[in-house]
Structure 1
């Protein structure tokens, strides 16, 4: 089973690319309804868009049929329909958050906000948001429905082994060149006075709200969280949410209407207002503020990491010992700087798939045991600035996937196959209980699922 609409970023890219061409094409052909799934319709033009989407994610569509694309669209409409039946809700704030998160990445990729607006032929961010909000919401619903279907699916080592043994050798995936890395991070110093100034300001804001000011208005004035500023600092939090532990612990300690005292995460200092609790999910607003290093502190960090590199290069200290002694990266310093891939939590990085532009610039071209020059990093995740240098501790040439050396990747593939099978079985069952109507033009299609209900 192929689920084309895997993420909102894909929708952003394809809509902009496809928009002008499709506008002209649609004038040449009447755009009729080709299918109905529950309360959702699929237009003939949606199939054309589906071809573009499939191509955008790397599928070879040269031999793909309209029936195949329609089958994928039918699956996604079924997910959306069932999400509503199961009371899965996507809030306006969550849609805005998703939009803002993707917009940040697009601005970084395009170089500026104006380039993004030009790309979409829009005059403002709000116009782009308005045109894409419904699509984002629908795809979030479909995605959450799929997650719900497979949320308890696990896979055993024996299942992984059996999966690997069933793959013909000529069909084993090729793994690109990989490296294992160690890192040393030096952060510009933040003084106690700078930290206390942020805490004092958050306490002042907290007191103002307790005396009647609007928390939401304070968010617009002060927060430094770009992902939630447009929603007034709003988040939905549950036990499985991917928030910092300190954030979740604080949120779940509050009573409805209560505002936390300032607390620290890797992102900076926060205060949280718990607005409501629905279905064991917390509806919160927060304000984030982080102390900023001075230019002198930044320069001092640059000099410090340059000196550390000099000591390593001159064999005065090993890279691992230097990481333990000097690095400010709490999650890697005690292991001698061993840097885990944040996407896989494995030690390996496939060089050509490194998405962090700073890391890629450091790793690209480095030989075994070589050390990069220090690079000033603006971390997209924590929004913090620091200097980092890395050492290539191991290189693995391009190779066919091997059970012993690539177990985690094989495990992920095996789990995906198992989840896909379970989702396929779910689709077969739900089709029987859902209103489905196909246009006569597509009644003779051969689908993977029984959409024709023959």
Structure 2
């Protein structure tokens, strides 16, 4: 397909979309009985993989690839995995465990409870986690291998100008209205009463263990860290620096089998048991209790944001960005001076349309460019209670693409094109290093010049 300014439908695009879809399990539409339709070294491709990939596009209302394009994207992904194995590219088990925990917590919030997850998928939590582990490991290995291929690629301003000037003027796309928005976020605080309540529960658990109860049994029954609770609270071996400082500091003060006092971190309150220290690594398990976010105190965030609001209004732009870096508790935006960026492209200009968070969209409708909102209650994507002030930094009206207004967008497209080219060239060379076979029923497909007849 031809390049356009907005999107290039390519092998790399298919890989990225497929990888991003692995975080959700397919529902609603059945697929045909599984059959192996392809193989790349020791990695198999099933017919259900192909049908699920196409289904994921359809569920997201995106133009779906045809079967040959989808098959090629699956082969590419298996090639990345095969080459990662050959090149000894690895991901740590702890990184995989962290991803599993995060995704299971997201699923629990989405469905309301683990019981609801089990009912929705007809599988136990242990089975879902095992399936998720395989998917996440492949996803992370593919990402790491792809980053290894493209990490040195850069784009120069002259390349961006050359790309833009090569587009026929009558083919320049129409860009919808876009906005730049900044935020300073302060999280609600746990009340003393809540902390005391959680601390007393953990102290009770500690006493029960000291009287002979099994720590892992209590963790499985009561810990709100879904990922580790299924393992009796076991976090496995962790290298120093991997855990949050409060947790690690408390764990390393313990002797093997000793249990800590309740420890507070950004995740809640922990009861920690150290199991073993091995060189620079330590093995611990914990019971985590989280506060009830609906009972948290917003008085301190309100006070801080009111104060910042008054300071910012004397010099909006410079002070907002500086104060966001110093005061915002949202790690995803603080380092960028509070700017909210697109999760996929990293662009700071966001389309002003229905894809935006509804509450934010309605807020901007009442604001003028260059103004700051009053402190507003806010629920983060991961369910935390917070308050924020919003800075309406800029707005671009709908327009025909231009070099000046759309430089960041053009930069991302040129960079993506260069990465696609590098990955495509890598694939052509890598074909010689791996065994690839596809079934004859895909006779019309040619995968990097390979057809079933060539296998």
Pairwise same-fold verdict (TM > 0.5): yes
Residue by residue over 1:394-434, the C-alpha shift from the partner in whole angstroms, topping out at 9 and shown as x without a partner, is 22223344332332232222221111111111111111122
The residue aligned with 2:327 is 330
Does the C-alpha gap of structure 1 residues 224 and 43 become closer, same or farther in structure 2, counting only changes over 3 Å? closer
Q: Say yes or no: does 1:48 pair with 2:51.
A: yes
Q: Deviations over 1:28-63 (max 9, x none)?
A: xxx5433221112333444333321343455423xx
Q: Is the 8 A contact 2:146 2:423 kept in 1?
A: yes
Shift of the alpha carbon at 1:185?
4.5
Q: In structure 1, what is the equivalent of residue 7 of structure 2?
A: none
Residues 240-281 of structure 1 show CA distances to partners (whole Å, capped at 9, x for unaligned) of: 99x98x79x99xx99xx9x99999987689999898899x99
1:438: which partner in 2? 438
Q: How do 1:298-317 and structure 2 match up within 5 A?
A: 298=298, 300-301=299-300, 304=303
Cα offset, 1:392, TM superposition: 2.0
| Whole-angstrom distance in 2 between the partners of 1:97 and 1:167 | 44
Whether the aligned pair in 2 keeps the contact of 1:79 and 1:146 (CA below 8 Å) is yes
Residue in 2 that maps onto 1:89: 90
Residue of structure 2 in register with 1:141 after alignment: 141
- TM-score, length of structure 2 as denominator length: 0.67
CA 1:194/1:67 → structure 2, altered by over 3 Å: closer, same or farther? closer
Partner in structure 2 of residue 210 of structure 1:
none
**Does residue 39 in structure 1 map to residue 42 in structure 2?**
yes
Is 2:167 aligned against 1:164?
no
Q: Which residue of 2 aligns with 1:17?
A: 28
- Name the SS for the 2:155 alignment partner: coil
Say which SS state the counterpart of residue 447 (structure 1) adopts.
Answer: coil
Map Cα deviations across residues 189-244 of structure 1 (whole Å, 9 max, x no partner).
68999999999x99xx9xxxxxxx99989987998766666565748989999x98
Further displaced range: 286-295 or 69-78? 286-295
How far apart in 1 are the matches of 2:262 and 2:116?
38
Checking the alignment, whether the CA contact within 8 Å between 1:32 and 1:44 is kept in structure 2 is yes
Distance 2:287 2:411 in 1: 39
- Tell me, which stretches of 5 or more residues in structure 2 are unaligned? 1-10, 206-212
**C-alpha contact (below 8 Å) 1:181/1:338 kept by paired residues:** no
CA contact (8 A) 2:41 2:435 kept: yes
Q: What is the CA-CA distance between 1:130 and the residue it aligns to? A: 3.7
Whether contact under 8 Å (1:18, 1:49) holds in the other structure is no
Contact in 1 for aligned 2:187/2:329 (Cα 8 Å): no
Residues 352 and 215 of structure 1: CA distance in aligned 2, closer, same or farther (over 3 Å): farther
CA contact (8 A) 1:179 1:395 kept: yes
Deviation by residue 1:350-388 (Cα, 9 ceiling, x = unmatched): 34487767655644654435654533234456x764321
Does the 8 Å contact 2:185/2:329 carry over to 1? no
* Secondary structure in structure 2 of the residue aligned to 1:17: coil
> How many Å apart are 1:89 and its aligned residue?
3.5
Measured in 2, the distance between the counterparts of 1:183 and 1:240 equals 29
1:394–1:138 distance in 2 versus 1, CA, 3 Å? closer
Structure 1: runs of 5+ lacking an equivalent: 206-212
Q: Deviations over 1:144-193 (max 9, x none)?
A: 32222223333333333333333444554554432233445555568999
Secondary structure of 2:327's match? Answer: coil
Shift of 1:324: 9.6
Matched, 1:409 2:409: yes
Aligned pair count reads: 433
* Residue 224 to residue 404, structure 1, CA distance change in 2 (3 Å): farther
Distance 1:99 1:74, change over 3 A: same
Equivalent in the alignment of 1:397: 397
How far did residue 70 of structure 1 move? 1.8
3-state SS of 1:101 partner: helix
CA offset at residue 445 of structure 1?
2.4
TM-score (norm 1): 0.67
Structure 1 equivalent of residue 151 of structure 2: 151
Q: Distance in 2 between matches of 1:59 and 1:295?
A: 40
The CA distance in 2 between the partners of 1:169 and 1:141, in whole Å, is 41
Q: 1:69 to 1:8 in 2, by over 3 A?
A: closer
